[in-house]
């Protein structure tokens, strides 16, 4: 077996290829074989779709797997590479981070060939898949602890042209929310590596809560809309129906828009995602549970905003984020 990362097929082959991206064995685990699908129809956009970066976000792998079934009929040009599961040990353990080395794959890029398994996965993706693409859709989700709408997200990008292009691509999903998210914990993110190469990177956050068939249809429709916008698939884009509405809005959230829990206890949400709130409106209530003589504490909106994420009832520590507020994006 080769001890360098490699693909078991030639990406330049025309037509459908199904094979593996092989991550070499290291001191910490055996070699991994990540299933890879490629559909090469010659000239046109070059897209990479990845899921399963975080092992407890399984909407992405499901949507990616569905794409493998219908894309051969639908794709008219260009090349699409799909890796439904980037991090098999994390997905098998239903764990955000890789259980073998405890690392977060989305903080491990560009990776290291001689590193631990998460770093070796990042290295293989960076060196073998990224050079073959112009656009990346990385399919994540907010998970069961949050009430969060289907959304396409990006972080602010210093290059104004790339920023405008990225926001346009994110909006093309026509998800209920497009979100520009100011976020400071960025070293090692897949997003940053791709954007530093001048390429478009969209992080799809496929909702919160548990996985249901209705929500999955919305996610799949959103990805199809984006493929149509790229010119890879023919057809008319449609706004997926979400909570009886066909609509979409582009918002931005800053780090100062995070509402934190004032104490440790159980957080009770008092509003829903996408609610519009005014200054002083009730967002949620924190119930300290260590003593019945401690009063419950109301958490209120500091300004007029839209609620883009709210914890769906959970035990939280003091100073833990319980809601994210946002406002219309001005580019
Ligand atoms: Zn994630």
How far, in Å, from the CA of 141 to the mean position of ligand 1?
A: 6
Nearest to 269 by CA among 308, 305, 323, 317: 323
How far, in Å, from the CA of 289 to the mean position of ligand 1?
A: 30
How far, in Å, from the CA of 183 to the mean position of ligand 1?
A: 14
How far, in Å, from the CA of 57 to the mean position of ligand 1?
A: 6
Within 10 angstroms of residue 280's Cβ, the number of other Cβ atoms is 11
Q: DSSP label at 128?
A: I
How far, in Å, from the CA of 291 to the mean position of ligand 1?
A: 35
16: burial class by Cβ within 10 Å (0-12, 13-18, 19+)?
A: middle
How far, in Å, from the CA of 288 to the mean position of ligand 1?
A: 29
Instruction: State which residues have CB under 5 angstroms from ligand 1, the bound ion.
Output: 54, 57, 140
How far, in Å, from the CA of 52 to the mean position of ligand 1?
A: 8
How far, in Å, from the CA of 190 to the mean position of ligand 1?
A: 11
Ramachandran class of 279: left when φ > 0, alpha when ψ lies in -120 to 50, beta otherwise: beta
Stretches where the chain sits below pLDDT 70 are 1-2
Q: What is the pLDDT of residues 305-322, one digit of tens each?
A: 999 999 997 899 999 999
How far, in Å, from the CA of 37 to the mean position of ligand 1?
A: 21
How far, in Å, from the CA of 205 to the mean position of ligand 1?
A: 7
How far, in Å, from the CA of 323 to the mean position of ligand 1?
A: 17
How far, in Å, from the CA of 297 to the mean position of ligand 1?
A: 30
pLDDT at 1: 47
C-alpha span between 61 and 50 (Å, rounded)? 8
C-alpha span between 76 and 292 (Å, rounded)? 64
How far, in Å, from the CA of 54 to the mean position of ligand 1?
A: 5
How far, in Å, from the CA of 2 to the mean position of ligand 1?
A: 31
For 97-132, b/e burial (b = at least 16 CB within 10 A) is bbeebebbbbebbbbeeebbbbbbbbbbbbebbbeb
C-alpha span between 54 and 106 (Å, rounded)? 8
How far, in Å, from the CA of 293 to the mean position of ligand 1?
A: 38
Interior CA angle at 9 toward 85 and 76, to 5°? Answer: 75
How far, in Å, from the CA of 15 to the mean position of ligand 1?
A: 31
How far, in Å, from the CA of 188 to the mean position of ligand 1?
A: 14
């Amino acid at each position: 077996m080769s001890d360098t990362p490699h693909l078991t097929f030639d990406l330049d082959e025309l037509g459908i290829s199904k094979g593996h991206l092989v991550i070499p064995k290291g001191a910490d685990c055996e070699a991994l074989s990540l299933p890879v699908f490629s559909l090469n129809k010659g000239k046109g956009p070059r897209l990479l779709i990845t899921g399963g970066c975080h092992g407890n976000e399984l909407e992405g792998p499901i949507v990616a797997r569905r794409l493998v079934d219908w894309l051969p009929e639908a794709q008219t040009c260009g090349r699409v590479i799909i890796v439904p599961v980037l991090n098999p040990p994390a997905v098998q353990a239903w764990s955000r981070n890789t259980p073998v080395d405890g690392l977060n794959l989305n903080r491990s890029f560009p990776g290291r060939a001689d590193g631990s398994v998460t770093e070796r996965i990042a290295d293989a993706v960076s060196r073998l898949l990224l050079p073959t693409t112009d656009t990346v859709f990385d399919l994540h989700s907010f998970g069961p602890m949050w009430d969060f709408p289907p959304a396409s997200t990006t972080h602010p990008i210093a290059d104004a042209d790339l920023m405008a292009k990225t926001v346009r691509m994110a909006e093309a999903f026509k998800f209920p929310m497009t979100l520009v998210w100011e976020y400071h914990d960025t070293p090692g993110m897949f997003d940053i590596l791709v954007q530093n190469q001048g390429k478009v990177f969209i992080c799809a956050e496929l909702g919160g809560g548990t996985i249901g068939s209705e929500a999955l249809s919305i996610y799949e429709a959103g990805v199809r809309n984006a493929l149509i916008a790229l010119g890879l698939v023919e057809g008319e884009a449609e706004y997926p129906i979400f909570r009886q509405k066909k609509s979409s809005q582009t918002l931005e959230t800053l780090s100062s828009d995070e509402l934190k829990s004032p104490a440790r206890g159980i957080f009770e949400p008092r509003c829903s995602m996408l609610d519009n709130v005014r200054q002083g409106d009730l967002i949620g209530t924190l119930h300290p549970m260590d003593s019945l003589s401690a009063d419950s504490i109301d958490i209120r909106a500091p300004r007029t905003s839209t609620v883009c994420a709210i914890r769906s009832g959970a035990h939280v520590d003091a100073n833990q984020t319980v809601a994210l507020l946002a406002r219309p994006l001005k580019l």
